[in-house]
Amino acid sequence: MSNQSGWKPDMEKGATSPALDAPGLGGAVRGLVHEEPLLFEHGSKGRCGVSLPAPGAKAADDLPAALVRGGIEGLPELSELEVVRHFTRMSLWNHGIDTGFYPLGSCTMKYNPKSSEALARLPGFAGLHPLAPAEHAQGALELMYALERALSEIAGMDVTTLNPAAGAHGELTGMMVIRAWHAAHGNPRKKVLIPDTAHGTNPASAALNGYACVQLASGADGRLHPDTVAAAMDDDVAAIMITNPNTLGLFESDIAEIARIVHARGGLVYGDGANMNALLGNARPGDMGFDVIQYNLHKTFATPHGGGGPGSGPVAVKATLAPFLPLPVVVKEGEQYRLVTDPKERPRTIGRIHGFHGNFGMMVRAWAYLRELGPEGLKATSDLAVLNANYVRASLQGDYNLPYQTDSLHEVVFDDTAQKEAGVTTMDVAKRLIDHGFHPPTIYFPLVVHGAIMIEPTETESKETIDAFVAALKAIAEEANRDPEALKASPSKPFRARLDETRAARKPVLRWTPGMKV
Ligand SMILES: *Cc1c(COP(=O)(O)O)cnc(C)c1O
């Protein structure tokens, strides 16, 4: 049996290196999954995709030069079908939430309802020019205004900017606003306090605003303690940046006291709102003492996520910070909506931080999602996200070590202490999960947990899926004791087996060869 590339598939079960039959064509199959040669290894001389006249032939004179073949050395010569199969096959290698469970802790890889997609594609939204005059864009402006109001309400804040394009961009914007606020009060200050559980984007956003970052140690219970904050707090501190729940999935129960300590010395409290999936409809950062938070619409509000596509990181603030927010801003005057774009109208604005209005398509999706769920649905979302994480915690606590014993919110962190004696690490567990058909969770983050395995199932997964995932992790824990060497050689099913994560990103191995060492 051979496929179109001339390969003889190796039918042996679990084979790691299918037979290489035709060197130079580079490829193999497992079932219907094709390894794919480089485009340059497909095709043959003189083959072409469309039947255009040869260069120099009479009819070719009428064709635009760009369409006439010939003269370009070294490009592959391919049929249309070869090109279509090449790219379609490779597209099937992508993992996404639409293909499988994706339990990345901190990333909230939840399902994005297709109804939101359909609405974002409405021609009136999708085709609207960003420079269309306000009278021709009233519906879009109304949507932005309504979303801004809703996000402010959900966070317990006063005003929100929709402009930032990602969580990190929102953090940068929020810290620019904080710096501008301090500067307007006479002194931008010098330092920002950040707990050791923080996402790496927090210190990056503070540093990009010229602040020195002071790391705060969390307690043995995984939480930040008021004493630690009080000891570090002085008149040079511009702000503290906290995620609540933190990246261990634990609620910072002393947040109100921490905010009081920071405010008493004239500092502000920044909330990394990437974990809002745990709080929706249950608690509001504005009520806990936060002055600024960023949302990640591509996490919490189910807009598409990852792959370098557009994100959206709206920033919600208390009224005192509103004059500093970036432009443009949508305002409502009577029954009309208008865009404020001129800094003369907002002299204290930090300026523009994105072209036009930000990623408008994300706003349409988020608004659709909000309207579909309503307040009750939003609350149910976080209730179920928390329930699912605690279900994973309870199901696996005999198999993997829990560095913090208390209940989780929306995500749960294990480590590899229980597998240590067998010489099995978090990396081995993550790699073996691929053989079980699951994308590995976030690993080795947060940094405060050595060998962290950070699982966020989200509310959109069924009990059957979570049970299957738990069963896979239990099987791996059992294998760690029985056959650690096999685990260390995993995964065995993908064509590219045990990639070195760092090298794979910097020096991608495009050409597969059987038994290749990568
Ligand atoms: C995802 C995340 C961010 C950054 O968000 P991006 O949209 O990826 O830039 C910041 N903080 C936490 C806790 C996150 O999980």
Last residue of a domain, one of 370, 396, 412: 370
Cα(166) to centroid of ligand 1, in Å? 8
- State the DSSP string of 276-333: GGGTTTT--HHHHT-SEEE--HHHHT----STT------EEE-GGGGGGS-B-EEEEE
- 226 and 128 inside one domain: yes
Cα(73) to centroid of ligand 1, in Å? 45
Q: In 198-267, which ranges are E strands? A: 212-216, 237-242
Last residue of a domain, one of 323, 347, 370: 370
**pLDDT at 65 exceeding the cut of 80:** no
Token pair, residue 344, equals 């003369």
- 288 and 393 inside one domain: no
pLDDT at 63: 66
- 337 and 204 inside one domain: yes
User: Is the model more confident about 53 or about 16?
Assistant: 53
Cα(486) to centroid of ligand 1, in Å? 35
Instruction: Tell me whether strands 453-455 and 442-443 are parallel, antiparallel or unpaired.
Output: antiparallel
- Lowest-pLDDT choice from 51-55, 57-61, 361-365, 448-452: 57-61
pLDDT at 40: 85
Examine residue 17 and state whether it is found in any structural domain, yes or no.
Answer: no
Cα(182) to centroid of ligand 1, in Å? 25
| Closest alpha carbon to 147 in 385, 410, 359, 376 | 359
**pLDDT at 370 exceeding the cut of 90:** yes
Percentage of the chain surpassing pLDDT 90? 75
Residue type (1 letter), 347: P
3-state secondary structure of 34: strand
- 85 and 200 inside one domain: no
pTM over 0.75: yes
| Closest alpha carbon to 441 in 424, 459, 428, 455 | 455
Which range of residues forms the domain containing residue 482? 380-505
- 129 and 45 inside one domain: no
3-state secondary structure of 359: coil
- 128 and 84 inside one domain: no
For residue 298, which atom of ligand 1 is closest to its CA? 7
Cα(128) to centroid of ligand 1, in Å? 29
- Which residue lies with its CA nearest to atom 3 of ligand 1? 167
For residue 296, which atom of ligand 1 is closest to its CA? 7
| Closest alpha carbon to 295 in 193, 194, 171 | 171
Q: How many distinct structural domains can be found in the chain?
A: 3
- Lowest-pLDDT choice from 271-280, 303-312, 356-365, 477-486: 303-312
- 200 and 220 inside one domain: yes
| Closest alpha carbon to 97 in 378, 295, 307, 277 | 307
Examine residue 515 and state whether it is found in any structural domain, yes or no.
Answer: no
Per-residue pLDDT tens over the stretch 239-258: 999 999 999 999 999 999 99
| Cα distances (Å, whole numbers) of residue 393 to 140, 413, 414, 431, 456 | 43, 8, 8, 20, 10
State which of 205, 277, 299, 411 you would mutate to test the pocket of ligand 1, scoring each by most atoms of that ligand within 8 A of its C-beta.
299
Cα(2) to centroid of ligand 1, in Å? 46
- 207 and 292 inside one domain: yes
- 457 and 330 inside one domain: no
| Closest alpha carbon to 224 in 288, 179, 315, 300 | 288
| Closest alpha carbon to 311 in 327, 294, 335 | 294
Examine residue 247 and state whether it is found in any structural domain, yes or no.
Answer: yes
pLDDT at 515: 62
pLDDT at 38: 84
* Mean pLDDT within 340-368: 96
Per-residue pLDDT tens over the stretch 210-220: 999 999 999 99
Q: Facing residues of 411 across strands? A: none
- 129 and 202 inside one domain: yes
State which of 104, 163, 196, 201 you would mutate to test the pocket of ligand 1, scoring each by most atoms of that ligand within 8 A of its C-beta.
201
Token pair, residue 209, equals 């605003």
Per-residue pLDDT tens over the stretch 73-120: 788 889 999 999 999 988 888 888 999 999 999 999 999 999 999 999
For residue 108, which atom of ligand 1 is closest to its CA? 15
> Alpha helices, DSSP H only, in 185-244?
201-208, 226-232
- Which residue lies with its CA nearest to atom 2 of ligand 1? 274
- 267 and 391 inside one domain: no
Residue type (1 letter), 101: F
- 125 and 223 inside one domain: yes
Instruction: Tell me whether strands 315-317 and 292-294 are parallel, antiparallel or unpaired.
Output: antiparallel
Per-residue pLDDT tens over the stretch 415-463: 999 999 999 999 999 999 999 999 999 999 999 999 999 999 999 999 9
Examine residue 510 and state whether it is found in any structural domain, yes or no.
Answer: no
CATH number at residue 434: 3.90.1150.10
CATH number at residue 211: 3.40.640.10
| Protein residues whose CB sits closer than 6 Å to any atom of ligand 1 | 106-107, 166-168, 199, 201, 243, 247, 272, 274-275, 296, 311, 313
Last residue of a domain, one of 341, 370, 399: 370
Cα(222) to centroid of ligand 1, in Å? 20
